[in-house]
Structure 1
Amino acid sequence: MTTLTPAFFAQFDQDRLTAADQAHYMHGYHVFDEHREQGALNIAAAEGAYIYDTAGNRYLDAVGGMWCTNIGLGREEMAQAIADQVRQLAYSNPFSDMANVTAIELCEKLASLAPGDLDHVFLTTGGSTAVDTAYRLIQFYQNSRGKPAKKHVIARHGAYHGSTYLTMSIGNKAADRAPEFDFLRDKIHHVSCPHPYRAPEGMSEADFLDFLVAEFEDKILSLGAERVAAFFAEPIMGSGGVIIPPRGYHKRMWEVCQLHDVLYVSDEVVTSFGRLGKFFASEELFGVQPDIITTAKGLTSGYLPLGACIFSERIWQVIGEPGKGRCFTHGFTYSGHPVSCASALKNIEIIERENLLAHVEDVGAYLEQRLQTLAGLPLVGDVRCQRLMACVEFVADKRSKALFPEALNIGEKIHRRAQAKGLLVRPIVHLNVMSPALTITHAQVDEIVETLRSCILETAAELQRSGQYAGH
Structure 2
Amino acid sequence: MMLVNPNSAEARDIAYHFHAYTDARKHAESTPLILDRGEGVHVYDSNGKRYLEGMAGLWSVAVGFGERRLIDAATRQMERLSFYHNFTGRTHMPAIDLAEKLVTMAPVPMSKAYFTNSGSEANDSAIKMIWYRSNALGQPQRKKIIARERAYHGITVASGSLTGLPANHRSFDLPIANILHTGSPHHWRDAHPGESEEEFSVRRARELEELILAEGPDTIAAFFAEPVMGAGGVVVPPRGYWEAIQAVLRKYDILLVADEVVCGFGRTGRMFGSQTYDMRPDIMVLSKALSSSYLPISALVVNDKVFEPIADETHRIGTFGHGFTGGAHPVAAAVALENIRIIEERDLVGNAARVGQYLRDGLQRFADHPLVGEVRGVGMIAALELVKDNVPGAANLAVGGLGARTAAHLIEAGVILRPMHDALAICPPLILQEDHADELVSAIGAALDKVLAELFET
Q: Same fold (TM over 0.5)?
A: yes
1:304 aligns with 2:295: yes
Unpaired stretches in structure 1, ≥5 consecutive residues: 1-12, 467-472
1:262-316 CA deviation, whole Å, 9 max, x = no partner?
000110000001111222221x211121000101000000100000011001222
1:411 aligns with 2:400: no
1:424 to 407, 413, 416: 416
* Amino acid aligned to 1:157: E
Q: In the superposition, relative to structure 1, how do residues 403 and 220 fare at CA in structure 2: closer, same or farther (>3 Å)?
A: farther
1:38 to 21, 30, 38: 30
Distance 2:400 2:153 in 1: 27
Match of 1:213, SS state, is helix
Give me the TM-score of the superposition, normalised by structure 1: 0.93
Match of 1:324, SS state, is helix
Q: In the superposition, relative to structure 1, how do residues 14 and 44 fare at CA in structure 2: closer, same or farther (>3 Å)?
A: farther
Unpaired stretches in structure 2, ≥5 consecutive residues: none
Match of 1:117, SS state, is coil
1:194 to 167, 181, 185: 185
Which residue number corresponds to residue 319 of structure 1? 310
Which residue number corresponds to residue 215 of structure 2? 223
The 5 A counterparts of 1:277-356 are 277-282=269-274, 284-321=275-312, 324-356=316-348
Which residue number corresponds to residue 253 of structure 1? 245
1:185 aligns with 2:176: yes
Shift of 1:325: 4.5
Contact between 2:155 and 2:168, CA under 8 Å: does it hold in 1? no
Shift of 1:406: 2.3
Identity %, equivalent residues: 35
Segment drifting more, 133-142 vs 114-123: 114-123
Contact between 1:406 and 1:429, CA under 8 Å: does it hold in 2? no
Distance 1:97 1:177 in 2: 37
Q: How many residue pairs are counted as aligned between the two chains?
A: 451
1:151 aligns with 2:143: yes
* Amino acid aligned to 2:254: V
* Amino acid aligned to 1:306: I
Contact between 1:403 and 1:430, CA under 8 Å: does it hold in 2? no
Shift of 1:84: 0.3
Contact between 1:268 and 1:293, CA under 8 Å: does it hold in 2? yes
Shift of 1:399: 11
1:361 aligns with 2:373: no
Shift of 1:79: 0.6
1:108 to 97, 100, 120: 100
Distance 1:176 1:39 in 2: 25
The 5 A counterparts of 1:260-275 are 260-275=252-267
Contact between 2:268 and 2:381, CA under 8 Å: does it hold in 1? yes
Q: In the superposition, relative to structure 1, how do residues 99 and 403 fare at CA in structure 2: closer, same or farther (>3 Å)?
A: farther
Distance 2:100 2:110 in 1: 11
Contact between 1:22 and 1:35, CA under 8 Å: does it hold in 2? yes
Q: In the superposition, relative to structure 1, how do residues 122 and 448 fare at CA in structure 2: closer, same or farther (>3 Å)?
A: same
2:380 to 369, 381, 388: 388
Give me the TM-score of the superposition, normalised by structure 2: 0.95
Contact between 1:380 and 1:398, CA under 8 Å: does it hold in 2? no
Q: In the superposition, relative to structure 1, how do residues 25 and 404 fare at CA in structure 2: closer, same or farther (>3 Å)?
A: same
Which residue number corresponds to residue 244 of structure 1? 236
* Amino acid aligned to 2:332: S
Match of 2:65, SS state, is coil
Which residue number corresponds to residue 165 of structure 1? 157
